[in-house]
Structure 1
Amino acid sequence: MSDTLSEVLHAVRLTGAVFYLVEASAPWIAVAPPPQDIAATGLLGAEHVMEFHLLIDGPCWTGALGEKLERLEPGEVVIFPRGDPHHVASDPQQQAPPPVPETEIPPRLPFYLRLGPEGAPSSRLVCGFLGCDARPFNPLLEALPCMLRVPAAGTVLAEFIRLGVEETAAARPGGEALRARLAETMFIEAVRAYLGRLPESAHGFLAGLRDPHLGRALGALHRRPAHPWTLEALAREAGLSRTPLQERFTAMVGMAPMQYLARWRMQVAASRLLRGEDKVAAIAVEVGYESEAAFNRAFKRLVGVPPAAWRRAREQRRLAGPR
């Protein structure tokens, strides 16, 4: 199970690169910038952006715009995996101002943000952004809730928070790289904590990993995406017959096994396309296609453009850097 999750995290290119320290005096409120604006700046070089908040001390309420706010406890981490617009505030009655314009998003971080009226801060938070690929296929994003809360007290997350606060407050050599790795590790720990408390009735990719039969099937597809899988061969791996596997996989994961495999192959291919200068024909073979033409058709059908054009566009965006 853990190996399959690691494969997904690697293929979707999880990256954490931004931390900022917030000190606020009540009453205060802040609206997160739209995730597409953060992604558009090229700040993380990522297609999809998630924001997280670590409450150090003081009162803090948060939630998606238009939803009831929830109170955070000191030492708690909240992540918005799907990039939902949201806000944080000193109390649930605060009225949300317009989101921060894209032009106000700082190009270099960490930075210090002061909110509310003058006076001693009543709340302190460390906030930041994580990046990853959402397309061609990121099964993890679809399996996570719009707001993921994880208590850190008494867990390894508490140590990550402490280090994150220290590194955010100090301008030490190597700090940027360390903060990025801390953000990534915190996200992984949060996902594992969420997986550990999933109810038996849960559905989705993570619930499939926990299922003994589907976990073996998913692990096989992720370990060997280029293998010429058939439903019968996959059923043997899972320890089920074909029809029960097809029905169970589709009900739990939300798509048939061969459809999942096709989408996962495209994500693996996208990761290969961005990692180097391998020819498209070679990548096609690596992910299980006998011809470059068949691979091009499959990639364009899912992504909208052929693989070579997609790689050029992503490379041009990377070279442009943060705006």
Structure 2
Amino acid sequence: MDVLGDILESIHLGGGVRFRCDLGAPWGMNLPRSDHAEFHFVVRGNAWLRVRGLAQPLPLQGGDFVAMLGGGEHSLLDQPDGLAPPIDEILGQQALTDYGPVRFGGDGRSTQLLCGYFSFDRNACHPLVSALPSLVHLSGSDLPQAAWLQTTLQFMQHETQIGRPGAEAVVNRLVGVLFIYMMRRHYELHPDTAGILAGMADRHISMALGAMHEAPQTPWSLEMLARRIGLSRSAFAARFHQLVGQTPMQYLAVWRMQRARRLLLDTTLSTAAIAERVGFESVAAFAKSFKKMLGTPPGAYRHQRLRNPHDIAVSGITTNT
């Protein structure tokens, strides 16, 4: 069972490249807060990243990659104290084809950027989403040890430059690969924050996760999962909690609700059918658990989300069973 692929599909991971930039100092651009997670790759030259809430601007150089996974407002500039006009104002002056390039600035030092975005369902009640860092910065010196990530970025840059037929389809698929490689490398460098990915990398815990993902309707117990993966009950419970940050039963409850909310939004299955698919013997028990975790009954959730897809935020999620 590909647990990570299952999770990414459930949160509807997507994205693409917005444009390439050829910049001459002095230059600057401000990107507003977004529902998407913006990313930038410094192909050549230098830049500064200024983020609201970050004490000091972050210096970037050729080969660096940065992603604003929280979707926060930020500015890219040639100097830390430079001016940054809104990106819409800059783009409004240019007609772009095949990803640009966007050209602006002065006659000074040249910088090239590749700017894109990740999209995913921020309302997803999966711990992978809630554990995402607001900012990921991978320096060029980090990437040689992660050749696959560097190669993906370079391939995306190449595809946007040459503009051959099918380039958009290739780039959009590469964005999903980029997200996985980016998160792997980030957590390799910061293993104390790895969470669910650390669990996936562990042979025993990945087996348990795979079992829960493959058959969420099964009435799993701690003993059943421990026996399936060949660990004692206590060893399994301690190892799972240490790596994933939740107990196995808490994770199972969250995954069942994530599967349920996607079935509510992506299918026309009845509430009773969905309850059965995620391991509940009665609609009443399912509705009670769903409301406890997501704050609204299943039927109301489906109706409100389909009518106003951006109105309901999943906040105050509990993971107690």
TM-score (norm 2): 0.79
From 277, 286, 298, the counterpart of 1:307 = 298
For 2:7, the equivalent position in structure 1 comes to 8
Q: Quick check: 1:136–1:263 contact (8 Å CA) kept in 2?
A: no
For 2:216, the equivalent position in structure 1 comes to 225
For 1:71, the equivalent position in structure 2 comes to 59
Kindly report which structure 2 residues correspond to 1:98-109, keeping only aligned pairs within 5 A, or say none: none
Cα gap change, 1:212 to 1:159, in 2 (>3 Å): closer
- Distance in structure 2 (CA, Å) of the matches to 1:65 and 1:178: 33
- Distance in structure 2 (CA, Å) of the matches to 1:315 and 1:113: 37
Q: Quick check: 2:25–2:108 contact (8 Å CA) kept in 1?
A: no
From 137, 161, 173, the counterpart of 1:181 = 173
Q: Quick check: 2:49–2:60 contact (8 Å CA) kept in 1?
A: yes
Cα gap change, 1:133 to 1:85, in 2 (>3 Å): same
Cα gap change, 1:208 to 1:163, in 2 (>3 Å): closer
From 120, 127, 130, the counterpart of 2:115 = 127
Cα gap change, 1:132 to 1:28, in 2 (>3 Å): same
1:278 has 2:251 as partner: no
Q: Quick check: 2:18–2:115 contact (8 Å CA) kept in 1?
A: yes
For 2:73, the equivalent position in structure 1 comes to 85
For 1:148, the equivalent position in structure 2 comes to 136
From 145, 149, 153, the counterpart of 1:157 = 149
Shift of 1:115: 4.2
Local SS of the residue matching 2:2: helix
Cα gap change, 1:214 to 1:163, in 2 (>3 Å): closer
Shift of 1:121: 6.7
Local SS of the residue matching 1:289: coil
- Distance in structure 1 (CA, Å) of the matches to 2:271 and 2:228: 30
Return 5+ residue gaps in structure 2 as ranges: 311-321
Q: Quick check: 1:143–1:206 contact (8 Å CA) kept in 2?
A: no
Q: Give the length in aligned residue pairs.
A: 300
Shift of 1:159: 4.0
Q: Quick check: 1:62–1:72 contact (8 Å CA) kept in 2?
A: yes
- Distance in structure 2 (CA, Å) of the matches to 1:65 and 1:88: 12
Letter in 1 for 2:41: L
For 2:46, the equivalent position in structure 1 comes to 59
Q: Quick check: 1:82–1:141 contact (8 Å CA) kept in 2?
A: no
1:246 has 2:237 as partner: yes
Cα gap change, 1:97 to 1:294, in 2 (>3 Å): farther
Q: Quick check: 2:131–2:195 contact (8 Å CA) kept in 1?
A: yes
TM-score (norm 1): 0.78
- Distance in structure 1 (CA, Å) of the matches to 2:236 and 2:227: 10
- For the aligned residue pairs, the C-alpha RMSD in angstroms reads 3.3
Shift of 1:196: 4.0
Cα gap change, 1:317 to 1:87, in 2 (>3 Å): same
Q: Which string of whole-angstrom CA distances, capped at 9 and with x for unpartnered residues, describes residues 106-157 of structure 1?
A: 9x994554443x4367111111111111333232233443322344457233
Q: Quick check: 2:43–2:114 contact (8 Å CA) kept in 1?
A: yes
Percent identity between the two aligned chains: 37
Q: Which string of whole-angstrom CA distances, capped at 9 and with x for unpartnered residues, describes residues 265-284 of structure 1?
A: 11112222333322222222
Q: Which string of whole-angstrom CA distances, capped at 9 and with x for unpartnered residues, describes residues 4-34 of structure 1?
A: 2222112111011442222322232323321
- Distance in structure 2 (CA, Å) of the matches to 1:311 and 1:119: 54
Return 5+ residue gaps in structure 1 as ranges: 40-48
Higher relative contact order (CA 8 A, sep 6+): 1
- Distance in structure 1 (CA, Å) of the matches to 2:112 and 2:149: 17
